[in-house]
Amino acid sequence: MNNPPAGPASPGLPASVKQNLQEAPDLVDPIFQVEDVSVFYGDYEAVRGVDMKIGQKQITALIGPSGCGKSTLLRCFNRMNDLIPGTRVGGKISFRGEDLYGDDVDPIEVRRRIGMVFQKPNPFPKSIYDNIAYGPRVNGIRRGLDDLVEQTLRQAALWDEVKDKLKQNALSLSGGQQQRLCIARAIAIRPEVILMDEPCSALDPIATAKIEDLMQDLARNYTIVIVTHNMQQAARVSDRTAFLTAELDSAGVRYGKLIEYEQTSKLFTTPSDDRTEAYITGRFG
């Protein structure tokens, strides 16, 4: 992160996106604190030495070229990497001040508090209603499910489209509706954080716009961390952006590295590292 300033920035974002870049609130009281985090798949170090803080009720975007470790880093935030055999996380991630990887921490409880939405919509092959009610039922909620389902679908901006077909199979919905249902399923158990791994990459621009609007609504109550390949999306929705890239170490081994982490408005207008500027202007990646 010590490169000289990149000079006058000429990032390749459309003027409409640049005009709307907002100053993010200050990063006080972060919900996650990441200290010197490295992730290994067996002997391979996919991500090396990441330090960052994630703001509460903010949207944080992770961007960077393919293979730089965005999804790997994202999965660290709710211990999804634990589910991949041979994966090891070094360094420390604190969640609300507690070591997320501490011996007494239950990873299932972690994933209840920190939900995840994936690239490809993956509703259960059950009714729309049961997709939403599933998590609350598993958590012992039996009463008031109808209200909870309605409230959750409203929060996910899906109620009006599905209220007359709650018993219909969720797989009959469009891709964009399925993804909003997956977001609704994630928020039905009232998590504190929602992790999103390229949630719009399988969607058309109209469905993408709906998810982006939804994210901004949800950020009033939830912390969101999103991996996206779409820089305009990062610029449109996020408060802070982290740019990662893959570098070669002295032994010629590739590893993912955090290059710059800043307010989104700053990163996309006056990046301080040449590599960030090259990426956001489309000169590499």
Q: Which is nearer to ligand ATP, 21 or 237 (CB)?
A: 237
Cβ of residue 228: shortest distance to ligand ATP, in angstroms? Answer: 9
Q: Which is nearer to ligand ATP, 157 or 202 (CB)?
A: 202
69: left (phi over 0), alpha (psi -120 to 50) or beta: left
Q: Which is nearer to ligand ATP, 55 or 64 (CB)?
A: 64
Cβ of residue 255: shortest distance to ligand ATP, in angstroms? Answer: 9
Cβ of residue 210: shortest distance to ligand ATP, in angstroms? Answer: 23
Residues of the shown chain interacting with ligand ATP in the complex, contacts defined by CB under 6 A: 41, 44, 46, 64, 66-72, 84, 256
In 3D, which of 37, 34, 33 has the Cα closest to residue 90?
Answer: 37
202 burial level (CB within 10 Å; 0-12, 13-18, 19+): middle
Name, in order, each residue with C-beta under 8 angstroms of 153's C-beta and a sequence gap of 6 or more.
Answer: 128, 132, 159, 162, 163, 184
- The residues facing 115 across adjacent strands are 194
Cβ of residue 252: shortest distance to ligand ATP, in angstroms? Answer: 14
Q: Which is nearer to ligand ATP, 241 or 265 (CB)?
A: 241
Query: DSSP of 39-54, one letter per residue?
Result: EEETTEEEEEEEEEEE
Q: Which is nearer to ligand ATP, 45 or 130 (CB)?
A: 45
12 in Cβ contact with 282 (< 8 Å): yes
Helices 145-155, 128-138: crossing angle, 10 deg rounding: 110
Cβ of residue 74: shortest distance to ligand ATP, in angstroms? Answer: 8
